[in-house]
Each structure stands twice: as structure tokens, then as C-alpha cells.
Structure 1
């Protein structure tokens, strides 16, 4: 027997427990609930089901109130906004090897979105439905993996915190502080976003992401009698969007996404709001983006005689791979090969809570979830055989971390 086969055999009981968990039934149950990021009632139902599912694990389980936030509405007013509660589980905080596992219960599909049902495809080998891959399938695999760990004699060496938040799809504004606290002092992190490709490829380096609402205040006037006395906020917002778009470059993506504002055709509009997303590849790109925005805002204010208020932040820091992260990826990829499904990793243009965990100095692999695809669309699908596959992968990775104790 090879060394790798012997390693898998040593952990066979734990792997079998993980693989036997009722993951598909859980995914069906959870995905039948609309848990769009703004659907607080649906998120409350989802959180209660998840609490019941995770309750058999040892440790302290809580449903934590979210930090309240604020949004800029279509009139430019800043309004308070509430988020759903987050699941937080803490197990064996004194164990020598400490890990953090994260996932999200929210989806991008609002309560009134037409995509609300589950459909079996390819004779049941594929499941189409809202959130099946992103990431209710990932949560099921996470829970199954932890059940596997608890079936191993190595369990006493492993402590872990689990955070399943309700607001990841909108940038985790109400859970970022909870995730940062949970990540502190951890050896490694596993996050259960779906794989980067249907073959199981992992997402490696990620850019950062900042979402901003730029509120342009001009001056109203009659469009026919005295337009020269006005300061057209819509025109200024359009100029702002164009200047920002023209400033994009390799390493800094800039996407002006929406302009709110305007009014009657016979009035010079005095208010407009530009929504824009910036994605810097590296921390130095983020610093440059901050300076760039400030400079372009000042230019437009001067050119149009308007004032511009910036609301928002870089909620997702860039996530380049350091040496510890590379070693964690190597461990995950080697474990996948031992289980008979070799995988690799590649850079991704997307962002997730893994960005924030990495910014805490903790190495993270953030695509430990299921294989599937077409996420954020009505074609979203889960490859059913990947549920036990990815559950066993996480179990083996955690047990190997317990054996090694370092990265």
C-alpha cells in the first residue's frame, strides 16, 4: 500500500461518515427557501434550519444579530438598512489546531425573482435551483465534513469556528467584523464558495472590490428661461462615469454601473447618483484607486460647478497568494489527488469573504464548496456527486492539518 493510500485508509471512518451525510436532502430543503440578501423573513427561516442542522455538533452555537448598515437610495438620501442574523459556532477553542470555516446563507435571488424552484437534470445527476451551488450545497458539504472530523480520534486536536453569514452577496457589511474576529489566530481557513470551474478547479488569487455611490449635487433651474443658472447633476454624473471608465487599466477594473437622478424635461436636474465598482488586483492598486477617485471627483466638481459626496468603501481587500496560502493550496490539492480527483487552482476575478479572511493574515482556500456552475442565473446547477466528494476533501484536509499542526 502506498503512503497516500495508507493515509486515506487511516482516516477512512471519518471520510465515510462525511460522505454518508444527508447532503442532497439538506440542499433540497434549504434551496426551497428564498433567502435573498434583502428577504429578512426568508433569511430568518433559513437561519433557523441551519441552526437545527449544526446543533448536533459540540460547542456553543448562536444566531448573531448583524451590525446595521446604510444605503444610498435613488434620491441620494442615506437610509439605514438591516441584515439577517448570522450563524456562529465555536468548538474547542483551546485545542492546539484552530481553524475557521465560513459560508453564506443568502442568495442573489430576491423574493419576487421568478427563479424559485428545483429541477432534476440528467437523471438526477445534476440539480438546478436557486443557491444549490452558491452556496447551500457548500454549506451541506461543510457540515458533513465537520461530522467526519467529529468521528475521528483526532477531533480533540482541532478547534474551529463556523460563521455562516446572511449578507455575503451584498459584500458582508453586517458580518465583516464577526468574520474578522473569528479569523483571528487561526492556522487556516476554508470557505465554501463553489469551485471556480465545474471540474473542481479552485480560485486562487482574487482582486479586491469596492462599491461606491457618488452623490452629485448641482443646482436646479428652468431648462428654457435660465438654464445657464443651473448646474446639471446628471451631466456631471455622466462625465464622472466616463472619466472613471477611461481610467481603468490592467490591475484596476472600473465599472460605472448605474446613474440615478433627473426629473422633468423642463428642469435642470440638481441631483444624481453614480454607482460604481472598482476591482484592484493588489493592495498598491487599491491605494492608487483611492487617489484616482479623489482626483477625478475634484476635476468634475470644478468642471461642472457641483459638489460630490462619496459613500462606500473597499469592502473586499485584494487577495494575492502568500507562501502560507500556497502551502495550504498544495495540501488541499494533494488531498484531492489522494481521493482520486486531482484539482488545481487559478486566479479569479470574483471576490468573497475569503478576501477579508486573507486580509487578517490567515491563509484561506475559499472554493471548497461543490462543483457546479451558472451561478447568479436561473441556470445555476449543482453536480450531485460532488457533495460527498467535497465533504471528504474537507474532512481529509482538516485531519491532515491536525496531524501537521503548521503550514
Structure 2
């Protein structure tokens, strides 16, 4: 049997030979609409993933997720089911195990006009989800395919989780991540690296909140004094919330959407405000929620109004500890010797890596391809980074299986 080094070289050459196939798959996957609320499109994407993984002998098993609770446009709690997560396992009985994960939903819903891919130059491909995170899905699949095809990780087990709800905070799949975190030694996630190739180390915490104000409708001409204008009160509440922005503490509040109102001759009895909050320090989580709660409580004391607060922090801040630094060093060691040194950078964005770190699993979460303009109709990916990223994971997993490198 060939040596481990020979098999590793064969795997890297094989991946390089598959470059055009990988690029074609990326275009096909990106043009499957799989917005977070598009269950039909998500199921289509899930079916395609199961089929493509199976071609490499990798079996993705559907795993049911709990219902998602959201506040609808009437201010009521709406419960709905997303599609199943997809989970693959190899050698689950192994003493050492790695968790790999990435999402297959995107921010582009079916009605979006951004549906087709377009080549910007020889390597850069523009398209919906090409880098966030259909490209990451491909990097993970092809890396695992090479690892199993060339028998490079016989001494370790791995679990791959593909979830359908990351772009809305993973409300359904969070419990799956929590369940799996304690069963693995570390995590590898395939969110895109930054446009200049830098990788993310620390992340801000992120929370989504909804404020529902109910007042009393009345005719704006005959008896406006009997009305209680929900929009006016919400605007006052939002003004107070906006003052919670604190640049010195690196806390940002973005009021992203306002809903409410109707005929102009009627006092509006419903208004809804939705906001996103980012904090850098874990100690700021409870402090922000307390201050936000006080604003809502004070508004709720107004006669004739009912004010309710929903939501919370779905991703705590992610910091770097000694265990995470070991994974970072392993990622650096897995690079081709000709590659430039990795630069690690903090970001305000959150992802499932934040949750896994909170659940006790150290991880690196930007192992996907290089690209930019995320959540934007100009989203692009550098397709030349797909194979090197997959090759890096093959080297890392091979070293871990052999018991060499920074992770040992």
C-alpha cells in the first residue's frame, strides 16, 4: 500500500484535476434558489446535495429540526418548520473526532432578481450564494471526498452538518450544534474568508429583537382623542433604543425594519420594529438586554398601549483561547508552502462558529473560499481558491489522523 505521504500527494493531484467539475457544480448549486424562508428551494438544494455527496460514497442523512418561532406582520407569534438538516458521519466510534459544518441557505429569497451566475473575469464568478456559502459547501464536500477516496483519515472520525437556517441565526439547528459540540475535539466551518484572504478569529455577538406596540384605532377626524397611535409610540421607543449605540463599548444597534399603519384617516393600532444588535464583550449581553427591557417596560406603562419585546442574542461573542490558537496553527501548517502567511482578523459578523465556541467546541470558521460583497447582488467568489482550500483541509485532517502537527 502506498505511504500516507504518497496518498496525500495523489489526493491533492486528484483535486486539482477536478477543478472544472467543481466550478461547474458551483454554478449549478448557486442557481438553485435556497433562501432561508424558501422551504421548496431549500428542499431542492438538500436533494441535490444528497445526490452529489452520494456520488463520492458520502451519505447525508436528513435530521429533523424543531419549529422556528418568528413574529409575523400582525405582531403574532408564527411557528413554522424549515427543512431537515443533513448530517454525514464516518467512523463515529473513533476516539478522536472532528465536526465540520456549513449552511445551505442564502439571503436571496425566490422573488429576488439575483438568480443567475456571471463570470467577471477568468476566476471571479458573480452569483447568489457563490461564496456565502455554496462555495464553502463545495470545499467541504470535495475535501471529505478526497480524504475518504485516498484513505487519509483512518484513525479519526468526522461528522458533517449542513444546516438550512444560518442566515436567520440558526434558530432551528442551534440545538443540533449544541448536541454535537461535546462529541468532537474541534470544529471546522466553511464560511468565506475575507476578500483579501484574511481569516476571522474573533467575532461580535449578534442578537435580533422585535418590539410590538399595540394601541387603539380611532377615526382621525371624528374622535382622534380616543385613539392610541402605535406608530408614534414605537417611534419614541426606537429613538430610545438608538441611543443604546455605544461606539466606545463597540456596541451597535441597527433598526432594520418598521411595519404598521393603514388608511391615513385611521389612528394606527399596531406598529412593529425589528432590530439587530452587535456587542464585542460577553458581559455586554445581559446589560444590553436589561437596558432594552427597561425602555420597553417604561413604554408599556403608557395608558391604552401594550408593548412587548421578543427575541434575544442568537450568537454570543467569539474570542480566541489556547485551544483555538492550536487549530489556527494547524490551518497555517496545512497551507501550501508557497502560500502567504495567514492573517487573522476580528469581524462584526456572527456565524455558527460562535455558537459552537459557546457550547465548548473550539473552531475555525472561515475555511471557505475567498470572495466578497456578501448579502449583495454583487456577491462574487474567486474560483481559483476552491481547490487550495479543499487541499488545505485534506492536509489538516491527514496530519490529525497521523498524530502529527499542532493539534496533537
| Fold shared per TM-score above 0.5 | yes
Worse-superposed segment, 323-332 or 132-141: 323-332
3-state SS of the aligned residue for 1:189?
Answer: strand
3-state SS of the aligned residue for 1:333?
Answer: helix
3-state SS of the aligned residue for 1:11?
Answer: helix
CA distance in 1, matches of 2:180, 2:348: 25
Instruction: Answer yes or no: is 1:221 the counterpart of 2:248.
Output: no
Residue in 1 that maps onto 2:172? 174
Give, in angstroms, the shift of residue 191 of structure 1.
Answer: 0.8
3-state SS of the aligned residue for 1:204?
Answer: strand
Give, in angstroms, the shift of residue 378 of structure 1.
Answer: 1.6
Give, in angstroms, the shift of residue 335 of structure 1.
Answer: 2.5
Contact 1:236 1:300 in 2 (8 A): yes
3-state SS of the aligned residue for 2:66?
Answer: coil
In structure 2, the CA distance between the partners of 1:62 and 1:242, relative to structure 1 (3 Å rule), is same
**1:326-350 deviation digits (Å, cap 9, x = unpaired):** 2211221232263523221100111
3-state SS of the aligned residue for 2:259?
Answer: strand
Contact 2:102 2:163 in 1 (8 A): yes
In structure 2, the CA distance between the partners of 1:15 and 1:265, relative to structure 1 (3 Å rule), is same
Contact 2:153 2:397 in 1 (8 A): no
In structure 2, the CA distance between the partners of 1:157 and 1:291, relative to structure 1 (3 Å rule), is same
Q: Which ranges of 4 or more aligned residues in structure 1 deviate by more than 6 Å?
A: 7-10
Contact 1:339 1:393 in 2 (8 A): no
Instruction: Answer yes or no: is 1:235 the counterpart of 2:232.
Output: yes
Residue in 2 that maps onto 1:160? 158
CA distance in 2, matches of 1:300, 1:147: 56
3-state SS of the aligned residue for 2:228?
Answer: coil
3-state SS of the aligned residue for 1:211?
Answer: strand
CA distance in 2, matches of 1:323, 1:287: 26
Unaligned runs of 5+ in 1: 1-6
Residue in 2 that maps onto 1:150? 148
Worse-superposed segment, 330-339 or 48-57: 330-339
Contact 1:195 1:202 in 2 (8 A): yes
Unaligned runs of 5+ in 2: none
RMSD of aligned alpha carbons: 2.1
Instruction: Answer yes or no: is 1:212 the counterpart of 2:174.
Output: no
3-state SS of the aligned residue for 2:301?
Answer: helix
The aligned runs of 1:3-402 (5 Å cut-off) are 11-21=8-18, 22-56=21-55, 61-122=60-121, 124-196=122-194, 198-249=195-246, 250-303=249-302, 306-336=305-335, 338=337, 340-402=339-401
3-state SS of the aligned residue for 2:116?
Answer: coil
CA distance in 2, matches of 1:62, 1:255: 38
CA distance in 1, matches of 2:180, 2:225: 56
Give, in angstroms, the shift of residue 371 of structure 1.
Answer: 0.7
TM-score (norm 2): 0.91
In structure 2, the CA distance between the partners of 1:201 and 1:9, relative to structure 1 (3 Å rule), is farther
Contact 1:23 1:137 in 2 (8 A): no
In structure 2, the CA distance between the partners of 1:191 and 1:44, relative to structure 1 (3 Å rule), is same
Worse-superposed segment, 110-119 or 336-345: 336-345
3-state SS of the aligned residue for 2:209?
Answer: strand
In structure 2, the CA distance between the partners of 1:383 and 1:159, relative to structure 1 (3 Å rule), is same
**1:133-156 deviation digits (Å, cap 9, x = unpaired):** 111111111111112322455411
3-state SS of the aligned residue for 1:205?
Answer: strand
Worse-superposed segment, 349-358 or 74-83: 74-83
Give, in angstroms, the shift of residue 85 of structure 1.
Answer: 2.1
CA distance in 1, matches of 2:382, 2:198: 14
Residue in 2 that maps onto 1:3? none
